[in-house]
Structure 1
Amino acid sequence: MKKKISIIIALTLLCFSCSIDEKNKTVKTGEKFNVGLCSYAVEGYEIKLMNENALKKVALIRKSIDGGFLRKECCCGVELWNFKAIGKGNETLIFKYFKSHGDSLLFHSGSSEIIKYYIEVTDGI
């Protein structure tokens, strides 16, 4: 029970801390890392890798605030993007927020809807 409450608190804090527009991170080749972003059930993020020789997207996991997978009735969830550093270099991860309407994706405009992470990949672990 305590673990579930602490997870709910952590996810709630994450949902209210998603306004960060830029981040810098240094990783070593072979290292895996996660990027957590909040989103609603019918919305989410699309990612663009600027230098695909440095990083590889491994997985995307969508979770609701209550720990289950996102459902349409969910109001706040978390997208956990998992990456692996595969080569030395610099990478810019650009996340664009979208809202789904049936089969189409409508991208929001404005700089507040784009989150950038600057990743430097150095020699292996």
Structure 2
Amino acid sequence: MNRKRLLIWLSGFLAGLIIITVFYFLFFNNNFNKETGRENQKELPVESISSPPNQETVEHDESFMEEFNQTQGKTKYSFILSDGREVSIYLPGGINPPPLNVVEELQKQLKDAKSKRGY
């Protein structure tokens, strides 16, 4: 009986010691792992990426644009903008139309670009 108690007490003591050791290395010894990991890391040089040069826009006549827009497989989506204008866009089949605010922003950018070019 005395020997059983001693074995139970020793196994509990060893289990507690193992648990305490595991918790120590997980929670308190974490800084040691971070510091040694930083020493092994190399700093990589950062290269700046230049943007490609501005490309000239290609002007197309209205007949080409109409032919392009009327090709098969494209779906016509019409939007009424907040200023009352109706805008139609053509997208390939299977593509969901953009939200109205995106269409308005694109029309605003197109209008700004045309005004800068003098159209």
TM-score w.r.t. structure 1 length? 0.22
More contact order relative to length (CA 8 Å, sep ≥ 6): 1
Q: Which of the two has higher C-alpha Rg? A: 2
Task: Give the number of the structure whose residues are more often strand, by fraction.
Answer: 1
Task: Give the number of the structure whose residues are more often helix, by fraction.
Answer: 2
